[in-house]
Chains A and B, each alone.
Chain A
Amino acid sequence: GEDVEQSLFLSVREGDSSVINCTYTDSSSTYLYWYKQEPGAGLQLLTYIFSNMDMKQDQRLTVLLNKKDKHLSLRIADTQTGDSAIYFCAEGDNNAGNMLTFGGGTRLMVKP
């Protein structure tokens, strides 16, 4: 079956850039998502990218997709303490409707 992998933990200083990485195995992935989960809350959709795109930018967020290597990254510029959360990568397949496969989540800690 499909697999999505993320590192468990990332620590950065306030004001630095954060880069959260994700790899996936499903070559028929159509959409790739980034969700943010703050403590005690559900998942909030941050951004998503179609598999025919290489990059998507949305304010402080930049998503890069290397389809050949099945590698997705989320860059957060000027990271703030409010960005501390767990970030989930998820992949979706057109052939599977709205079914998503999630990674294990990366906990981002931002130090003042």
Chain B
Amino acid sequence: DVKVTQSSRYLVKRTGEKVFLECVQDMDHENMFWYRQDPGLGLRLIYFSYDVKMKEKGDIPEGYSVSREKKERFSLILESASTNQTSMYLCASSLVPSDQPQHFGDGTRLSIL
């Protein structure tokens, strides 16, 4: 079974802090994704990566950056956290062929005070 692990289930940070969300997958997947989930808005793609050190902006990249130094790990960084970044963050990974589904972690519920 594919395992996608997010480092924290719940996180509380303060406005202006630099926040790191970590995601690790154990299936040698090339693609990794970061989404945020807000009520009624579904999942919105923040960034994705199709290879080590490669990244592409998703639909809502503003205020975020990412890092992929190793294939199994994809980090989401909030450079200066703001209250409107309070959300559920979901990481996913997949193989390259386009018929391969994305597999999700359990999510990190982030609160910015």
Contacts and interface: CB of A to CB of B under 8 A. Distances in A.
Bound together:
yes
A43 B42 contact: no
Contacts of A102: 35, 42-44
Interface string A22-61: 0000000011010100001111110010100000000000
Contacts of B103: 45
Range of interface residues on B (Cβ < 8 Å)? 20 to 34
Given A42-B4, A42-B105, A99-B45, A104 B98 contact: no
A77 interface: no
Interface residues of A, number: 28
Interface hub of B48, B95, B104 (most chain A Cβ within 10 A) = B104
A8 interface: yes
Interface in A86-105: 88, 90, 92-94, 96-100, 102-105
B42 A45 contact: no
Interface string B47-89: 0101000000000000000000000000000000000000000
Interface of A: 4, 8, 30-31, 33, 35, 40-45, 48, 50, 88, 90, 92-94, 96-100, 102-105
Interface of B: 4, 6, 9, 31, 35, 40-45, 48, 50, 90, 92, 94-96, 98-107
